Structure 1
Amino acid sequence: MTADWTHGQTIVNDVRLHYVEAGDPADPTVVLVHGFPEFWYSWRNQLPALAEAGYHVVAPDMRGYNRSEKPHGVAAYRITELSADVADLCREFDAPVHLVGHDWGGGVVWDVAARTPEVVETLTVMNAPHPARFEEVLRSSADQRKRSWYMLFFQLPWLPERVVTALNCRPIDRMLREGTVTPGAFTEEDVARYREAFQRPGAATSAINYYRSVFREGAKDRIPFVSAATAEADVDVPTLLLWGEQDAALALELTEGLERWVPDLEVVRLPDASHWVQFDAPERVTEELLGFIGAHR
């Protein structure tokens, strides 16, 4: 963590987002989008490495998280709103940008690339399934449905917030530290930072509303993904999918068959990494990122 980074905030899509910025603004921009239950700090290893490699790096707190604004209501967390936030942020920092997302951030950047490809130079997704493939696998795989049980639990009112924040956010601690396969991937200081961010007023409800919105608003927001029989693609930018194979929540088969929707696709599977791939294998992830975006610089 040696980068000379700064904190800032901006209004995008009528919502105030906090972000951390590193590197020279004159250099090509990389936007890093975190997942659940995270915030900008999830990119603490990649921020300095990318800046030192000659990139301008921006890592926002997504709406509802940490220091960003927390709109009320489930509808405020529809994928169309989240996608518009990131697309506007890319425009503010001289789009097209190299766009990177993990987990929920990965779901959002898939959507950004499909709806607003003009803001994306390259797309990198980490352990977040392409939405059309996820629907396929969820319908056909009892194993994936079992892995996704928590999504149904998150549909309940108020109880999920109570559970995940119980005992000083002990469930968040377990999710992070027991979910990784590399000893010490999350330090005591790291986990304390995640707890602090998740315990900010409104943060737990906002984060869980991401999942509630999928069930309540998702049908309205679905992109008309093209069928496998057509030659057209819904994500037509150079794309890298990085996938930790030890993911407890997402089956490995989600990485297969994506060429129907993403023709310019490279898939890199990391057998010794979990869902928290950038923590289990930070140096490898940075290496893959630099190689991929450097090839399209």
Structure 2
Amino acid sequence: MTEERIRAVERDGLAFDVIDAGPVDGEPVVLLHGWPERATSWRHVTPILNAAGYRTLAMDRRGFAPRARPRRRRDYRLSLLVDDVVALIDEAGGSAHVVGHDWGAAVAWAVAGLHPDKVRTLTAVSVGHPAAFFKAMVKSDQLRKSWYMAALALPVLPELTIRRWSDWFDLQLLKGGMSREDVARFRREIVDDGALPTSFGCYRGMLLTDPRIVRFRVSAPTTMVWSTGDVALGRWGAAHSAEWVDGPFRLVVLDGVSHWVPTEVPDVLAGAILERVAG
């Protein structure tokens, strides 16, 4: 494991900024954010993990990091998002505990499934195993909840809407449970910083990802955290993720908590992460 702080990871001409905190010799915990957030979404979780002796590595993902914002849809295929994380894990010593929220969870599942030797444990927040998520589209009301994914994959229209009808979009985030502080952070870190167009890359690259790639099994001990107040993701996909995990699996259900788990209940989430990584 490297004895120096990791400030950024470079891969294929792109640079991904990293917030490296906690004891340098602690077991590494890689933290992957979702949309529309950046690595700072873990700011309340990391001090708790650091105090427990773990080193946290929160990375600005592809499309969000200032020096990693390619414009083409094909640059956001799932395999590339996975390789970005593997590059960070290799920099941190070759294996790590991996935690992801929202799109970060989708990528974390894929890292664990496609590179089992890199992942010591997995904690997925909000988004279940990709195969379970897609099956939930026909087995539950997930298709109705996921209408926004198709909307955000459209060219140009999403960024125009968010800029021209900013008050309306901010209100949607507030209705979904995001705090006013984090809505302001979204405006500052995503919109004002120029990341908005490329932040949609994960949605626009979905159609270019071979669906067979998501039918992987996960051997790492896994915790799935899902919250009952999540307006975008139903319980079916979270609960049935166990069918794709060969290692120990635990479903943690947070009653009355919104989609924005890392910032709304960081202490509870940190507790679930620590229980998994320590186990």
TM-score by length of 1: 0.86
Deviation by residue 1:81-105 (Cα, 9 ceiling, x = unmatched): 0000001111111131010000000
Amino acid in the other structure paired with 2:228: E
Q: Choose between structure 1 and 2 for higher RCO, CA contacts under 8 A separated by at least 6 residues.
A: 2
In structure 2, relative to structure 1, the CA distance for the partners of 1:242 and 1:161 (3 Å cut) is: same
Does the residue aligned with 1:235 lie in a helix, a strand or coil? coil
CA contact (8 A) 1:37 1:172 kept: no
Number of aligned residues: 274
2:43 alignment counterpart: 44
Amino acid in the other structure paired with 1:274: S
**5 Å matches for 1:1-297?**
8-141=7-140, 143-167=141-165, 169-170=166-167, 173-180=170-177, 186-188=179-181, 190-200=182-192, 202-215=194-207, 217-218=208-209, 220=210, 222-223=212-213, 225=215, 234-263=217-246, 264-295=248-279
CA contact (8 A) 1:62 1:68 kept: no
Deviation by residue 1:92-128 (Cα, 9 ceiling, x = unmatched): 1113101000000000000000111111010000001
1:230 alignment counterpart: none
CA RMSD, Structure 1 to Structure 2 (Å): 2.0
Name the CA distance, whole Å, in 1 between partners of 2:111 and 2:102. 14
Name the CA distance, whole Å, in 2 between partners of 1:200 and 1:206. 13
Deviation by residue 1:192-234 (Cα, 9 ceiling, x = unmatched): 222111125651121112111112x02x2632626xxxxxxx1
TM-score by length of 2: 0.91
CA contact (8 A) 1:79 1:221 kept: no
Question: Mind listing any 5+ residue stretches in structure 2 that lack a counterpart?
Answer: none
In structure 2, relative to structure 1, the CA distance for the partners of 1:267 and 1:68 (3 Å cut) is: farther
Name the CA distance, whole Å, in 1 between partners of 2:17 and 2:168. 25
Deviation by residue 1:37-72 (Cα, 9 ceiling, x = unmatched): 000110011111111111111101001114341012
Question: Mind listing any 5+ residue stretches in structure 1 that lack a counterpart?
Answer: 1-5, 227-233
What percentage of aligned pairs have identical amino acids?
Answer: 34
Does the residue aligned with 2:57 lie in a helix, a strand or coil? strand
Deviation by residue 1:7-42 (Cα, 9 ceiling, x = unmatched): 822203542101111012111101100000000110
- Give the Å deviation of 1:174: 2.9
